[in-house]
């Protein structure tokens, strides 16, 4: 795969999914840097530092967020994310990962224009190729 991004942020509280997604993204060499946080609150803290240009926190070009998480779930994260400065967000592709694509969740996703699409987790090589070709 030739296309790659500087940084990807995975937001998911499931260790197995994080491991599988991280391993796949690493093997496919789609990012120089892959960060993992386990809930929406940690993700917001990470982004705050990234948007302040803290070199320890590379600004992600791709964010993959799970819907169902403890502490702060994907929808709560998205509500807070919408309040962030747009000038920081215009270079970020946000995708939702879900193991349970219920009709309710998919309908609710429509309220969040930042989310471009949803994928079942864990990601597959085909998913990653599609994402890289479509958005980067």
Q: Which of the four pLDDT bands, split at 50, 70 and 90, describes residue 10?
A: very high
Sign of the dihedral through C-alpha 10, 49, 87, 113: positive
Q: Read off the pLDDT of residues 79-93 as tens digits, 9 standing for 90 and up.
A: 999 999 888 888 999
Average pLDDT, the chain: 93
Q: Which of the four pLDDT bands, split at 50, 70 and 90, describes residue 35?
A: very high
Overall pTM surpassing 0.75 (yes/no): yes
Give bridge partners of residue 96 from the DSSP assignment: 65, 118
Q: Which percentage of the chain shows pLDDT scores above 70?
A: 98
- For the segment 64-85, the average pLDDT, to the nearest whole number, is 93
Residue 102 confidence (pLDDT): 82
Residues 6 or more apart in contact with residue 72 via CB below 8 angstroms: 39, 40, 41, 44, 80
Residue 13: which domain range?
A: 5-135
Give me the number of domains the chain comprises: 1
**Which one, of 63, 66, 68, 69, lies nearest residue 47 by Cα?**
63
Compute the distance between CA of residue 89 and CA of residue 114 in angstroms, rounded to an integer: 8
Burial class (CB in 10 A: 0-12, 13-18, 19+), 93: buried
- For the segment 54-78, the average pLDDT, to the nearest whole number, is 95
Q: For residue 16, what is the domain's CATH number?
A: 3.40.50.2300
- For the segment 54-58, the average pLDDT, to the nearest whole number, is 96
């Amino acid at each position: 795969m030739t296309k790659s991004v500087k940084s990807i942020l995975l937001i998911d509280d499931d260790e197995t999914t994080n491991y599988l997604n991280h391993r796949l993204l690493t093997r496919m060499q789609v990012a120089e840097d892959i960060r993992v946080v386990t809930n929406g609150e940690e993700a917001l803290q990470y982004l705050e530092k990234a948007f302040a240009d803290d070199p320890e926190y590379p600004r992600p070009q791709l964010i993959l967020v799970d819907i169902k998480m403890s502490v702060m779930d994907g929808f709560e994260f998205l509500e807070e994310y919408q309040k962030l400065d747009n000038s920081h967000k215009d270079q970020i592709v946000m995708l939702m990962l879900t193991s349970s694509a219920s009709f309710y969740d998919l309908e609710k996703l429509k309220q969040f224009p930042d989310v471009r699409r949803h994928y079942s987790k864990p990601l597959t090589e085909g998913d990653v190729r599609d994402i890289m070709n479509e958005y980067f």
